[in-house]
């Protein structure tokens, strides 16, 4: 599975951006996808996730009500619509995909994109 993010950039506080993550390869085996971010000098954290099985979503408390995760299965693309951006949302945003393979036991494989920079100015 290969993941390529796009859509990052510089935006003023209160503005919006939409990130995209295009998946290729064995996309039919992906069980879940997510957006993570890593602010400067901090650890990577999960922002939002979406299940490939039922489309259920989860969000970090810090972005609830402002960000929306979605996917277009026909295009093998996941999105993150980010509204009401704040300076603290500044980070490198990463796309993540998870495959769970059963080969006698369950093994989980993680895939990552290269990241896209989001900078929110005050």
Task: Say which residue the tokens 């922002």 belong to.
Answer: 47
Quick one: average pLDDT of 83-89?
98
Q: Could you report the per-residue pLDDT of 22-78, keeping only the tens digit for each?
A: 999 887 788 899 999 999 999 999 999 999 888 999 999 999 999 999 999 889 999
> Which CA distances in Å does 24 have to 46, 87, 90, 103?
22, 32, 27, 23
Q: Can you read off the two tokens belonging to residue 111?
A: 């895939």
């Amino acid at each position: 599975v290969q993941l390529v993010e796009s859509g990052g950039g510089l935006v003023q506080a209160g503005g919006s951006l939409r990130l995209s993550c295009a998946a290729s390869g064995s996309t039919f085996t992906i069980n879940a996808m997510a957006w993570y971010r890593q602010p400067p000098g901090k650890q990577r954290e999960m922002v939002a996730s979406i299940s490939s099985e039922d489309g259920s979503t989860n969000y970090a408390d810090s972005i609830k009500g402002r960000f929306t995760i979605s996917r277009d299965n026909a295009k093998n693309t996941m999105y993150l619509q980010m509204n009401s951006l704040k300076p603290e949302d500044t980070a490198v945003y990463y796309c993540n995909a998870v495959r769970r393979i059963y080969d006698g036991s369950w093994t989980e494989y993680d895939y990552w994109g290269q990241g896209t920079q989001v900078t929110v100015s005050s």
